[in-house]
Amino acid sequence: MGRFIVRRLLYMIVVILVVSFITFGLMHAIPGGPFSREKALPAETIRILNERYHLDELLWKQYVSYVYAVLIPHVTTTPPTTSLQDDFMVNAQIGSVWFRWMNFGPSFKSRSRTVNDIFRDNLPISAQLGTMALIIAIVIGLPLGILAALKQNTVWDYLGMGLAIFGVSVPVIVLGPIFVWVFGVALKWFPPVGWGAQPPYILGFLPSNIGWDFFKYAIMPSIALGLGSSAVIARLTRATLLQTVREDYIRTARAKGLPERAIIVRHALKNSMIPVVTILGPLFAALVTGTFVTELMFGIPGMGKYFVTSITNRDYPVIMGTILLYAVFLVVANLLVDITYAFLDPRIRYD
Amino acid sequence: MAQVKPESKTFGGSGGMPLTQKRGSLFRDAFGRLIKNRAAVLGGSLIILIILMAVFAPLIAIKSYEVQVLVDQNVVPEWITKVFPTMKPYARISNDYPLGADYVGRDLFSRILYGARVSLAVAFIGPLISLIIGVIYGSISGYFGGRVDNIMMRIVDILYAFPSLLFIILMLAFFRSTITHIQPGTPAYALSKLDEAMGGLFFIFVGIGLTAWETMARLTRGQVLSIREKEFVEAAHTIGASNLRIMFRHILPNILGPLIVTETLAIPGYISTEAFLSFIGLGVNPPTPSWGAMISDGATAIRSYPNQTILPALALAITMFAFNFLGDGLRDALDPRLRGTQ
């Protein structure tokens, strides 16, 4: 297991490097730069700006220094400054030595902020939305799938599978406007747009005001985003559970007189969770990218706006930062999924 | 599915029937099962209806989808104010527009009709591209195995880690802004002209095609790996059939079922990808109507004029429902063992 994790971590670094390389290449291949305007800036201004942000250097040098600034931990004795060029995500002081890591650089568009500032202010909000949606997906999807399988061909089954088809057929951009109008405008149950989380965030993303103030904003977007995923989970849970309850060991458990509840919970459910855990990786990816639309739809000040506008603005550091961040999320999620397998199914060995 | 070929040979041979007829009957069986499935029939009929509406859009739509009648901005017919009662106090009524007009006075009904063309084009071309690339890639990988397979699959693994929607967004941003900078006479210029002629659809296809083949390649590889060990493939090798012939005549027909099913179930995904791209402004070029672009246009005024957003959203949802119903039905029909899975 240990060796497997080390190997996967190395592989992760390779993936991140490839992703950063492709993004960097594509980004610079797009015509126009961060300082092109409708009305062209004076050549001298552009030259100074390029020099300041090191855009006048050779592309490979820019790439290498970017990777150096972001990936390689810096160990120095100089304390952090307030310079925008010098904003690291991790600043740990051990004795007189500073351990500093992940400098994504300054944003070209919002001059007074760094990419790390954007991460610090806006990422927690996207994380709150994503987490709520994931919770909703699991809380609705899992019980519905189990119910549908245990009461196959009853009303519950049809209800569950009806919702499953509904969930996969109605994406956020459909559900979003309908929710906003029905529950926000017509019924006035929830505020149609906005976000109510208040900093400081506990553990980096949990709002300090968990309560109605927070949930009245969060409920609609989270359901709109999570419903599709809950459908996927419900279908898969039902399908695997139906297969599992026909296995021999379930018959054995019944034969030795275990109560039905114990059979389902201890034997059937645990073993049907493996495919469900598999799907959590891709599901997480869908939720992460889904947060973009949801945020635009419900006017939530998360990362979505920055990602879309950074590309049109050629805000190189923001593009690189957001894509790398999401890539890291996805690979880490997949790694966690693989590790969870091993716990759920001891037959799976990774050496 | 896997044993179809050898069985059809023995039965076909002893019954004195031509081989082709026996193979056809498998699909005929599947079709029989499909038309007994009410949801699938409903989905299929809806799709046919949507296709007809898209094809005959010029005959059905009374008004043009691009002419802006500024005096008719945001007007609604009377029935809309009954469905969306919040609009009553301020709505300007004009029954000339069956579903109302948008913020620059274009007929919503004809825009939704023409919007079906974009979604349908994506629904049919998307799977085609992903099938062609994915099947070729996956079958080479699976058929030759060993190191070729290893390298090819590692490449897919790495691409898989790349968040595909972000990749499409980046590629489209690249295409869309490169268009204006290329010199006439180059191949890239021809492509950009093609894209312009298609209202921006071409690069959406490219974007979808660039990422969608990965799943298909993995699936094909897995299927090919299991089929190529079968006796009938060995038999074909012994009588000296070429690799290409074995691939196309013996392996591909046997793995077609799962591929078709997976692709059909992927269609709603392509449709929503296009809608999403148009929603964030990287999709079709205005004034080409796309449901995603209409949702995005209307979203800013959803509190005042919900019909401009919710109606195209409903059109999108109905289309996706139809393809999901049909996909589910196809899966059950082509492989009854898979009923209720995936």
Q: Do B324 and A23 touch (CB under 8 A)?
A: no
Nearest to A304 by CA among A314, A296, A313, A315: A296
What would the pLDDT profile of B8-65 be if each residue is shown by its tens digit?
443 433 444 444 444 556 677 778 888 888 888 999 999 999 999 999 988 888 888 8
Q: Is B151 an interface residue toward A (CB < 8 Å)?
A: no
Q: Which two tokens stand for residue A82?
A: 């307030």
Residue for token pair 């499909």 = B34
- pLDDT reported for residue B222: 85
The minimum CA-CA distance between B159 and chain A, rounded to whole Å, is 8
Q: How confident is the prediction for chain A on average, in pLDDT? A: 84
The listed range with the strongest mean pLDDT (A134-148, A151-165, B218-232) is: A134-148
Kindly list the strands in the beta sheet with A74-76, ordered across the sheet, starting from the edge strand earlier in the chain.
A74-76, A97-101, A90-94
Chain A interface disruption, residue of B172, B272, B273, B326, most A CBs within 10 A: B272
Phi, psi (degrees; rounded to nearest 5) at B100: 100, 180
For the residues B79-88, what does the mean pLDDT come to? Answer: 83
Q: Do B313 and A239 touch (CB under 8 A)?
A: no
Q: Look at residue A41 and give its three-state secondary structure.
A: coil
Residue A278 has pLDDT above 80, yes or no: no
For the residues B312-334, what does the mean pLDDT come to? Answer: 88
Q: Is B153 an interface residue toward A (CB < 8 Å)?
A: no
- pLDDT reported for residue A38: 67
For the residues A132-147, what does the mean pLDDT come to? Answer: 91
Q: Do B280 and A180 touch (CB under 8 A)?
A: no
C-alpha dihedral (B286, B291, B296, B302), degrees to nearest 10? 130
Q: Kindly tell me the sign of the dihedral angle through the C-alpha atoms of A152, A154, A160, A161.
A: positive
For chain A, what percent of residues have pLDDT higher than 70?
99
Chain B CA closest to residue A193: B303
Q: Which two tokens stand for residue A227?
A: 């419903």
Look up the ipTM and state it: 0.81
> Could you give the CA distance from residue A248 to residue A265 in angstroms, rounded to a whole number?
16
> Could you give the CA distance from residue B274 to residue B204 in angstroms, rounded to a whole number?
7
Q: Do B340 and A180 touch (CB under 8 A)?
A: no
- pLDDT reported for residue A70: 86
Residue B123 has pLDDT above 60, yes or no: yes
pTM of the entire structure? Answer: 0.83
For the residues A228-246, what does the mean pLDDT come to? Answer: 87
**Residue B288 contacts residue B119 (beta carbons within 8 Å):** no
> Could you give the CA distance from residue A227 to residue A240 in angstroms, rounded to a whole number?
20
Q: Do A30 and B178 touch (CB under 8 A)?
A: yes
Residue A13 has pLDDT above 50, yes or no: yes
- pLDDT reported for residue A280: 81
Per-residue pLDDT band for B88 (boundaries 50, 70, 90) equals confident
Task: Pick the more confident residue, B50 or B93.
Answer: B50
Chain B interface disruption, residue of A14, A15, A144, A181, most B CBs within 10 A: A181
Q: CA A138, A141, A142: angle at the middle one, nearest 5?
A: 75
Per-residue pLDDT band for B338 (boundaries 50, 70, 90) equals low
- pLDDT reported for residue A201: 80
What would the pLDDT profile of B204-259 be if each residue is shown by its tens digit?
888 888 888 888 888 888 888 888 888 888 888 888 888 888 888 888 888 887 88
Q: Which strand (E) or helix (H) includes residue B213?
A: helix B201-227
- pLDDT reported for residue A312: 76
Alpha helices (H) in B37-106, listed in sequence order:
38-55, 57-60, 78-83
* CB proximity under 8 Å: B 68-107 to A: 84-86
What would the pLDDT profile of A63-78 be if each residue is shown by its tens digit?
998 888 888 888 888 8
Number of H helices and number of E strands within chain A? 12, 3
Q: Do B272 and A177 touch (CB under 8 A)?
A: no
The minimum CA-CA distance between A143 and chain B, rounded to whole Å, is 17
Q: Do B306 and A288 touch (CB under 8 A)?
A: no
Q: Is B162 an interface residue toward A (CB < 8 Å)?
A: yes
> Could you give the CA distance from residue B298 to residue B289 in angstroms, rounded to a whole number?
13
- pLDDT reported for residue B47: 94
What would the pLDDT profile of B139-165 be if each residue is shown by its tens digit?
888 888 888 888 888 888 777 766 777
> Could you give the CA distance from residue B148 to residue A289 in angstroms, rounded to a whole number?
33
Q: Is B314 an interface residue toward A (CB < 8 Å)?
A: yes
Q: How confident is the prediction for chain B on average, in pLDDT? A: 81
Q: Kindly tell me the sign of the dihedral angle through the C-alpha atoms of A62, A64, A70, A76.
A: negative
Q: Do B161 and A312 touch (CB under 8 A)?
A: no
Q: Do A30 and B295 touch (CB under 8 A)?
A: no
C-alpha dihedral (B231, B236, B240, B245), degrees to nearest 10? -140
Q: Do A173 and B328 touch (CB under 8 A)?
A: no
Q: Do B170 and A26 touch (CB under 8 A)?
A: yes
For chain B, what percent of residues have pLDDT higher than 70?
88
Contacts of A287 in chain B (CB under 8 A): none
Name the DSSP letter for residue B148.
H
Task: Pick the more confident residue, B179 or B134.
Answer: B134
Q: Do A293 and B279 touch (CB under 8 A)?
A: yes
Q: Is B270 an interface residue toward A (CB < 8 Å)?
A: no
Per-residue pLDDT band for B93 (boundaries 50, 70, 90) equals confident
Q: Do A186 and B86 touch (CB under 8 A)?
A: yes
Chain A CA closest to residue B272: A171
Q: Is B120 an interface residue toward A (CB < 8 Å)?
A: no
Contacts of B302 in chain A (CB under 8 A): 177, 180-181, 185, 192
What would the pLDDT profile of A335-346 be if each residue is shown by its tens digit?
888 788 777 777
Long-range contacts of A190-194 (CB under 8 A, 24+ apart): A190/A216, A190/A217, A190/A219, A190/A220, A191/A216, A191/A217, A192/A298, A192/B302, A192/B303, A193/A298, A193/A299, A193/A300, A194/A298, A194/A299, A194/A300
Q: Is B47 an interface residue toward A (CB < 8 Å)?
A: no
Chain A interface disruption, residue of B166, B323, B342, most A CBs within 10 A: B166
The minimum CA-CA distance between B270 and chain A, rounded to whole Å, is 12
- pLDDT reported for residue B8: 41
The minimum CA-CA distance between B247 and chain A, rounded to whole Å, is 31
Counted across chains A and B, CB pairs separated by less than 8 A come out at 133
- pLDDT reported for residue B335: 67
b/e per residue, A300-325, with b = 16+ CB within 10 A?
Answer: bebbbebbbebbbbbbbbbbbbbbbb
Residue A308 has pLDDT above 80, yes or no: no
**Cα distances (angstroms) measured from residue A292 to each of A122, A123, A193:** 12, 12, 15
Contacts of B317 in chain A (CB under 8 A): 169-170, 174
Q: Is B280 an interface residue toward A (CB < 8 Å)?
A: yes
The minimum CA-CA distance between A186 and chain B, rounded to whole Å, is 6
Residue A80 has pLDDT above 50, yes or no: yes
- pLDDT reported for residue A10: 87
- pLDDT reported for residue B116: 92
Task: Pick the more confident residue, B26 or B314.
Answer: B314
Q: Which of A14, A26, A168 sits opposite B174 (nearest CB)?
A: A26
The minimum CA-CA distance between A311 and chain B, rounded to whole Å, is 7
Chain B CA closest to residue A232: B342
Contacts of B328 in chain A (CB under 8 A): 165
Q: Do B181 and A31 touch (CB under 8 A)?
A: yes
